[in-house]
Structure 1
Amino acid sequence: MTDLAILYEHPEWFAPLFAALDRRGVDYCAIRPEGAWDPAGSPPPARVVFNRIAMSSFLRSGEHPIFHSIALLDHWRRGGAAIVNGPEVLAIDSSKARQLSLIAGLGLAVPRTRVVHRAADVPDAAQAIGFPLVVKANIGGSGAGIVRFDSLAELRAVIAEGALPRSIDGVLLVQDFVPARDGTITRIETLDRRFLYALDVAGGGAFDLCPADACAAPGAPAIRMQAVGPGATLRDAAERIARAVDLDVGGVEVMIDDRDGTPRFYDINALSNFVARPIDVLGWDPHERLVDYLLERIERL
C-alpha cells in the first residue's frame, strides 16, 4: 500500500506541497474527490491520508465535495488509515457557528454573534447585536457570503428582496462588525497543534484576507502581510484552539477590537496553503516542516 495519499480539490494550490514531497522522495498519490465509493468496500488508498479539501470549493462548483469528503474520510479511517485533518476537523471547518462555540467555550473572546436558520429571525438577531453588523454564511470561502449592514432599514429591505447571503447548510450568522485595529488581522498557523508562524494581514477585498497568492480572485486588491511574533497570549490561545479541534495543520485568525483592545478570534481554517513567497516573507519554507510531520505520521504506523 502507498504510504501517503493527498485528497485535494483545487488544481493548483498544492503544487508547492507536491514539489516538496517529490524532493524528499516520499511515496505518495494525489487523489481528487471524484467518482463513487462503496460504503461496504473502497479500502483506503494509503496508510496515511492527508485531507486538503477547501471550504471555498463550493465557490468553484455547485457539486462541491465538502460533505462527501467528510463521509469518505470517516470511511477510510474505519478501514485502518490514519487521517491527517480528519472528518471531525473537516466538520468544524465547515461550520463557523461550531467554531465560535468551541472558541468561546475555551474562554476566549469572539465577535458578538447570533446563529439563525430563518430569514424571519434575522431582524431580531440584528437588534440584539446592534449596527453596524455583518450577515455571513456559516461556511468560509475567501470572504464569500459576507455582507455588511449599517441600519435595520437596510437589512429589512434586503430580506424583503430575498437577497440575504446564502449558506450551503442554510445557517447564517448575524455578527457584530468588529473594527480591526489598523485594518489588520493576524493569521496564526499551527502544525501538530503547535505554533508554526504568524502573519499580520491587511488590505485585500472587504473580507478576503487569504495570505496565499493562489486564493486571490482576479482583479482583487492586493493584500499586505508581514511575519510577526504574535506574543505569548495569542500564541497560547491558538495552540489551545488547535488542540481542542484536534487540528493537525491549519490556521487560526484573530483581530484586535479597536474599540477596547480585546483579541477576538473568529475563524479556524483547516486548509492552509501557507504564505505566498515564504522565503521572502518568513525566511524559510513551511512546506518542509509539513513534510517532516507527514513522514513522522507514516513512521508511527
Structure 2
Amino acid sequence: MTGKIYVIHENEEWTVHLFKRLEELGLPYEDWFVNESLVDLTEAPPEGVFYSRMSASSHTRGHRYAPEMTEALLAWLENHGRPVFNGSRALRLEVSKVNQYMALNAAGIRTPKTVAASGKEQVVEAAKRLGAPSFITKHNRAGKGLGVQLFHSIEALEEFVDSPAFGDSVDGITLIQEYIQAPEPYITRCEFIGGKFVYAVRVDTSEGFELCPADACRIEDLFCPAGEQPEEKPKFQVVEGFDDPIIEKYEEFLRQNDIQVAGIEFIRNAAGKIYTYDVNTNTNYNAEAEAKAGKYGMLELATLLGEQLKKAAVPA
C-alpha cells in the first residue's frame, strides 16, 4: 500500500471517531488540520487519498479562512490528479446554501421557496417578496443552525433586524425561506457514503432548528440542543427499512456534483410533499442512534477510504 489517507479538516472534535476507525482497520492516515497553512504550488502533492471535511461553520471556531485555504489546497490536489473525496465542488456547496438549492433544483429536487438578500433593508424586502405567512431566516454560509429564526409577520422581522440579536452571515447573505409546517415535529436526515444511501435518521425538532448529530455538539456546542433526552424519545433515531423514491434522486444529485459523503435533510408537509433544505458535506453521526441500529457511518467511511487507497496504489 502506497501513501496515506489524508483527512482535511478544521475541527478535531469531528475527526476523532473517524481516526479511531482508521486505526481499527490498520490504515495509514495523516491529520491535515487546515487553518493557517502553506501550499507550495511548485511542488507535487504527496501520494495517497484525500478526504475533505471542511465545514461552513469554521468561522465559529476561530478559523475564518479555513474554507478558502481548503479551496486552494483542493485545487492543487485536483490539478495533480490526486483522488479527492468531497473535493472543490462539494466545498462550494458546503459553504453556500444558494449553491446547494440551485444544484438540488437542477437535479429535480424540491426545495422551499427562498429569497437571498444582503443588507437589513433587503432582508425585510425579501420577506415581503416571498409572501409566505410564516418564514424563517438563515445564514447562507451557516452550519450549526446559524441565523435560523422563525417569524409569523413582517413586523416581527423588522423588529428583529433592528435589534442587537440580528447578525449577518459571514458572507453577508441572509436567506428568507418559507416555513414548511410538518404534521409532526421531526425531520429526516439521509446519510450517504461513497455516493450510496446508508441509512436515514429521524430527528426530533420539538426543541428547535439546530440539528447537529455530532456527539461533541451534545456536550460543548451551545448552538446545538442535542443534549440528554428521555429514554422513550431519543432526539436521533435510525429509521429501519427506510425506502423512498427521494433516495434515487439524492444519489443522482451527489453523482452530478461529485460528492461522495453527505447527510441530506428533508421535511414533509401536511400533504406529504418532501422539501429538501440542507446538504451537509461534512456530515456527522450520532453514536447512540447508531449503536441501537447496529449501523456505523464512520466505520463505513473508513472502509471506503481504505479500499480507495488500495486502488490508488495499483499501477494504471
Partner letter of residue 287 of structure 2?
A: A
Partner letter of residue 31 of structure 2?
A: A
Q: Quick one: distance in 2 between partners of 1:16 and 1:161?
A: 40
Q: Which of the pair is proportionally richer in strand?
A: 1
Match of 2:191 in 1: 189
Higher relative contact order (CA 8 A, sep 6+): 2
Partner letter of residue 158 of structure 2?
A: R
- Normalising by structure 2, report the TM-score: 0.87
CA contact (8 A) 2:35 2:69 kept: no
2:225 to 220, 224, 235: 220
Q: Quick one: distance in 2 between partners of 1:159 and 1:234?
A: 36
1:287 to 279, 284, 298: 298
User: How many residue pairs were aligned?
Assistant: 300
Match of 2:139 in 1: 137
Match of 2:275 in 1: 264
CA contact (8 A) 1:44 1:77 kept: no
CA contact (8 A) 1:137 1:165 kept: no
Q: CA deviation at 1:106?
A: 2.1
CA contact (8 A) 1:135 1:146 kept: yes
CA contact (8 A) 1:253 1:265 kept: yes
- Normalising by structure 1, report the TM-score: 0.91
Q: CA deviation at 1:234?
A: 2.4
Query: Which runs of no fewer than 5 residues in structure 2 stay unpaired?
Result: 228-233
Match of 2:231 in 1: none
Match of 2:259 in 1: 247
Moved more, 114-123 or 268-277: 114-123
Q: Quick one: distance in 2 between partners of 1:14 and 1:221?
A: 19
Q: CA deviation at 1:133?
A: 0.8
Q: Quick one: distance in 2 between partners of 1:62 and 1:292?
A: 29
Query: Which runs of no fewer than 5 residues in structure 1 stay unpaired?
Result: none
Match of 2:29 in 1: 28
Q: Which secondary structure does the structure 1 equivalent of 2:37 belong to?
A: coil
Q: CA deviation at 1:62?
A: 5.2
CA contact (8 A) 2:36 2:66 kept: no
Matched, 1:59 2:60: yes
CA contact (8 A) 1:143 1:206 kept: no
CA contact (8 A) 1:135 1:165 kept: no
1:113-152 matches, within 5 Å, as 113-129=114-130, 130-152=132-154
Q: Quick one: distance in 1 between partners of 2:184 and 2:302?
A: 35
Q: CA deviation at 1:131?
A: 2.7
Cα deviations by residue, 1:130-174 (Å, 9 ceiling, x for unpaired): 231111110231111112222111222233447543111111111
Moved more, 35-44 or 98-107: 35-44
Q: Quick one: distance in 1 between partners of 2:299 and 2:62?
A: 31
Q: CA deviation at 1:117?
A: 2.1
